[in-house]
Structure 1
């Protein structure tokens, strides 16, 4: 089976790298190229891709011309802030919002690939954490020690350690800063709570 290929056109380095890392998690996909400005996009006509993930802010006449030079069945996927309206003149195959979670983005990519007739792929998403694990994660992110968490939640320190191990295993995140970022992104804590 041939790989599903992607091109990313996005001005933000962080968003490009984030999308690239998500695409790499999906079996049988390849990232052909990343572009961040209109000048570089002119070389699009030498590339072939199944999908172009594109920031609509970078959509100009020159970019549209370059995209049309790529094989006809290339599909466009917008990546933008949910508040930005995307051009209705373009036939978008789908849209990804920068506020979307990892699970949501991978599900959208799975759907797009599945709709192209490719085999439906299994995304490797983190396991759900339990309500108790979320409580413990919240306290870890807020900087409490195992003993403080145990006292606060009326459980033993050993139970806290066991939950921490389960959280690390399920999420694949081993550092406290990483767990804190996860907690913020998944609205377990508010970013202002960490100050």
Structure 2
């Protein structure tokens, strides 16, 4: 259960068992931080079908070290990244997208968890590299160094 991650992490379980190839599968009962879920080999959701659950449980482990999974950003999260890159405040983003400021903050938290990028400058680089914005769109918001 990812909610009890502080009690025993998948890495601790593997070390204590002496089996580095041990598969740890999270049972996700509610929305869980992506960074927390990334520690697991797979995720079972209460919304998964019986067949999906069976397939995930029966899937053999490869024994290889786990790679961090990077979840793709949702359409709304990409819109918020573009707004951040354009220098908008949380309030301006909320007004532009017709959502609450609290929702903007939640999306920003999810973006950081998914991308592990903590600064607007880092998001700017991400947005340019992933073609979310064009340099001509944000030329005025980029300060000269």
Q: TM-score, normalised by structure 1?
A: 0.37
Structure with more contact order per residue of length (Cα contacts < 8 Å, sep ≥ 6): 2
Q: Of Structure 1 and Structure 2, which has the larger fraction of its residues in strand?
A: 1
Question: Radius of gyration: which is bigger?
Answer: 1
